[in-house]
Structure 1
Amino acid sequence: MSTYRSSMIRFSDTLDKVAMVLSGIAIVVLVGAVILQVVARYVFSQPPAYTEELARYAMIWAGLIGASMSFKRRFDPALFNGINRGPVWIKIGARLIKSVVVLIYLLPILWYVFFGPGMNPARGFLLRHSRTMADALPFSTVWVAIAVPLMIVFILVHLVARWSGDDRPAHTDADQ
């Protein structure tokens, strides 16, 4: 395997490990915020205002970053499971169709993350969120919105790694 191919697969594996840590942290924050809210509501009858919002933002991060992990492991919803029999050109065509569907879905989203209507960067998703503050937490919602392009970039890297020869599912917890 060429250096480029093995480097791309290693980079994809590294991004998957980063995604695993990020989504793990998000799940811990989500569960912690929900537990705090339940205890504060039913024991003290006064839940903090920020717990619901914190849980929602953690759920967004866990879900989006978890989607990239799912794609890496081939647990993502597929149009078809792939063609195991038949000529090579049919197998390559099926992989190509799957890849085109992923690109058709993700590239417009990535575009509008940075550019709004009329290619206006001021109306892009991230720039609009940079001017919006969270209701109960003291930070800009851009820190939540950044999960969208991050997830897309992770999935695009995993897609390139698939075409570079990454035919195996990613490492599972049992493998480590």
Structure 2
Amino acid sequence: MIRLADHVDRISAALNRIALWGAVLALLVMLLSASWQVVARYVLDAPPIWTEELSRRGMVWAGMLGASCAFRAGADPTLFPAMRHYRGGTGMALSLIRGAGVVIFATPVIWYSVFNARMDPARGFLGRSLNRQAEMLEIPMIFFTAAVPVAFVLIVIHMTAGILVRASGRLPANETPREDIET
């Protein structure tokens, strides 16, 4: 169990590093395209038509990848943040409840990204995006809409790694024990 937990945790950490770099890159794309829009509009008096759309697409990728990184780091919003500090059986039970919440929320998002209600992948969220073009950027929309299922798959991987690490008797890296909480 410990080897499996370590392996999945390493995969989660590697994917998190890639997602973090992707979020930073997307933020830079957003910042640079918005900056160019301002300069081109007010200094050159010739605003390009593609900068606003590229900024929006960069914002989506930065937000979705950033959300997955926040989940891994334990910086995501939660109603009961002290629950992460419990160890032992109580901590494991609370971690499984949190994991169930993640699965209940993420599964339909991932499922309907691939399939529609009739199990037709051509009519799923990504399938429909494959045939649509961005308004100002002549790029299929799937390159932008893929951010949603990618982020949710990453969150499920991070959640699985956290549960496996906790099941191996350790706390995940983003969780620290507190002395004032009994286990």
TM-score (norm 1): 0.90
Counterpart of 1:63 in structure 2 is: 63
CA offset digits 1:6-48 (Å, max 9, x no partner) = 1111111100110111111101100000100000111122210
Q: What CA distance in whole angstroms lies between the structure 2 residues aligned with 1:62 and 1:9?
A: 23
Q: What CA distance in whole angstroms lies between the structure 2 residues aligned with 1:164 and 1:88?
A: 13
Q: What CA distance in whole angstroms lies between the structure 2 residues aligned with 1:151 and 1:81?
A: 22
Computed over aligned residues only, the root mean square deviation of the Cα atoms, in angstroms, reads 1.7
Counterpart of 1:118 in structure 2 is: 118
Q: What CA distance in whole angstroms lies between the structure 2 residues aligned with 1:164 and 1:89?
A: 13
Matched, 1:95 2:95: yes
Counterpart of 2:164 in structure 1 is: 164
Shift in Å at residue 123 of structure 1? 1.4
Moved more, 91-100 or 68-77: 91-100
Q: Counterpart of 1:140 in 2: which secondary structure?
A: coil
Counterpart of 2:178 in structure 1 is: none
Q: Is the 8 A contact 2:29 2:58 kept in 1?
A: yes
Q: What CA distance in whole angstroms lies between the structure 1 residues aligned with 2:91 and 2:4?
A: 23
Counterpart of 2:179 in structure 1 is: none
Counterpart of 1:81 in structure 2 is: 81
Q: What CA distance in whole angstroms lies between the structure 1 residues aligned with 2:139 and 2:9?
A: 36
Runs (5+) with no aligned partner, structure 1: 171-176
Q: Which structure 1 residue ranges, 4+ long, deviate > 2 Å from structure 2?
A: 82-85, 87-93
Matched, 1:22 2:22: yes
Aligned residues: 169
Q: What CA distance in whole angstroms lies between the structure 2 residues aligned with 1:77 and 1:55?
A: 25
Q: What CA distance in whole angstroms lies between the structure 2 residues aligned with 1:93 and 1:164?
A: 12
TM-score (norm 2): 0.86
CA offset digits 1:47-95 (Å, max 9, x no partner) = 100000000000000000000000000011113113346x844332221
Q: What CA distance in whole angstroms lies between the structure 2 residues aligned with 1:94 and 1:3?
A: 23
Counterpart of 1:40 in structure 2 is: 40
Paired AA for residue 169 in structure 1: N
Q: Is the 8 A contact 1:113 1:125 kept in 2?
A: yes
Paired AA for residue 144 in structure 1: F
Q: Is the 8 A contact 1:15 1:154 kept in 2?
A: yes
Moved more, 47-56 or 92-101: 92-101
Counterpart of 1:4 in structure 2 is: 4
Q: Is the 8 A contact 1:82 1:95 kept in 2?
A: no
Q: What CA distance in whole angstroms lies between the structure 2 residues aligned with 1:2 and 1:106?
A: 26
Paired AA for residue 10 in structure 1: R
Shift in Å at residue 118 of structure 1? 1.9
